[in-house]
Structure 1
């Protein structure tokens, strides 16, 4: 068995019905286990921890991102936590019989699919970063969602 873990963060922590609908997308994928999820209304953010075979986790993450895109409008969002998108981060962590390099390759594959199929801009960070200035997540988040359009135009 090969296992990875992912802890996607979604920019919704107040409307728990929305969070439940995002979690439901992971429940639909065979071979994905939801280990935990929690919401913080002050930060207006939810964190969901899932694990499973890499391909199953990838499918769940794509579906969760699609559902977040449908249900979360950052134009009507406020919270204490800096954010860039409805799906804010999707870290991938090797757990068993998977290498860090395989997780990096999967992050790039998933990011490409999200970008192409969902038409959502994707920034890869830390070990998956495509440039040195994108390694730090705080650098990517500078200007947050409100300045994202100008950031894309110049980046």
Structure 2
């Protein structure tokens, strides 16, 4: 049964927290998302997936459900994360600025990105009230009126290199407390995370390949943001794969560079994981290097919608336990 027949308007949040090495903390954050203040379960919310990377010390928790309940659900998860994670002692090679580092909301079905932006702004205001020392930067549909994209905000704030919070100027809240750091909150069309590992320890080579497929490159992949990191003795090409609207993309076919999906009648496109992997594999091969598979951190847009519909229909709050969380 589809979400429209269920009467649900679905959205998702891919909650990024700066903890992966203490599995019990990550799972406590996920479980907190499922409970209302009175201790009752949110009937129309499910934690679909947990992806944790030990070396990065970062977890992405996919929370999906009714847009009317999702804000409260994510707030509860964030409160648990802020209680348990201290940025003064946090250690990991993945860039981050906050204990709760990123809170993006994405529309799945029956809801637009503008409403997701309103949910994001409301969450930001609630966090400031509930968490002493919390500070926020906004992006996408939550960042009014500019609607600056996440990649622009991260560059402005030095997210890729900074671990000193003292000079940061948040959009909301006071100067970041050292324990909490700075949290990004926003909304946009769905952004997928896909990583491809190359069989090399040469970080410069990884950066060269990442640059070649980056969407800002004239020959790159549209909507793909990339970074290269040392990871488990190899180099990982980490990709944020943005959904986009493009009237020039008319149709898709198996093996095409683009996949399509629709929300509220609007058509969106993205580069599928298999195509990203193929491009990285080709670029690496041209340089005499192989690849060692890919990791999709969560779901494609269609998979996220389908899993959310199924989990809510069946009343499965801890869907990640059925699907199998990934702890590395």
**TM-score normalised to the size of structure 2?**
0.44
**Contact 2:116–2:141 at 8 Å: present in 1 too?**
no
1:149 aligns with: 166
Tell me by how many angstroms 1:117 deviates.
2.3
Name the SS for the 1:124 alignment partner: strand
Query: Are 1:10 and 1:89, in contact at CA under 8 Å, matched by a contact in 2?
Result: yes
Asked if 1 retains the 8 angstrom alpha-carbon contact of 2:33 and 2:75, the reply is no
Q: Secondary structure at the match of 2:167?
A: helix
Q: Can you give the 5+ residue segments of structure 1 that lack an aligned partner in the other structure?
A: none
Q: 2:96 aligns with which of 76, 83, 94?
A: 83
1:87-98 alignment, distance < 5 Å? 87-98=100-111
> Structure 1 residues 151, 33: closer, same or farther in 2, change over 3 A?
same
Larger % of strand: which? 2
Count of equivalent residues: 153
* Structural mapping, 1:34-113, within 5 Å: 34-113=47-126
- Rounded to whole Å, the distance in 2 between the matches of 1:117 and 1:145 is 26
Contact 1:9/1:45 (CA < 8 Å) preserved in 2? yes
Q: 2:143 matched to which residue of 1?
A: 129
Over residues 41-67 of structure 1, what are the superposed CA-to-partner deviations in whole Å (9 max), with x where a residue is unaligned? 111000011111113211111011100
- Deviation, structure 1 residue 115: 1.5
The one-character-per-residue Cα deviations of 1:97-146 (angstroms, maximum 9, x if unpaired) are 10111011111111111122223101111332247595324225516663
Query: Does 1 or 2 have the higher relative contact order (CA < 8 Å, sep 6+)?
Result: 1
TM-align CA RMSD: 2.0
Q: Larger Cα Rg: Structure 1 or Structure 2?
A: 2
TM-score, normalised to structure 1, is: 0.89
Give the equivalent residue in structure 2 for 1:138.
Answer: 154
Structure-2 change in CA distance of 1:63 and 1:145 (3 Å): farther
Q: Is the 8 A contact 1:84 1:141 kept in 2?
A: no
Separation of aligned partners in 1, 2:53 and 2:142: 27
- Post-superposition Cα deviations, 1:35-94, rounded to whole Å, max 9, x if no partner, equal 111100111000011111113211111011100111000111111111111111111111
1:24 match = 31
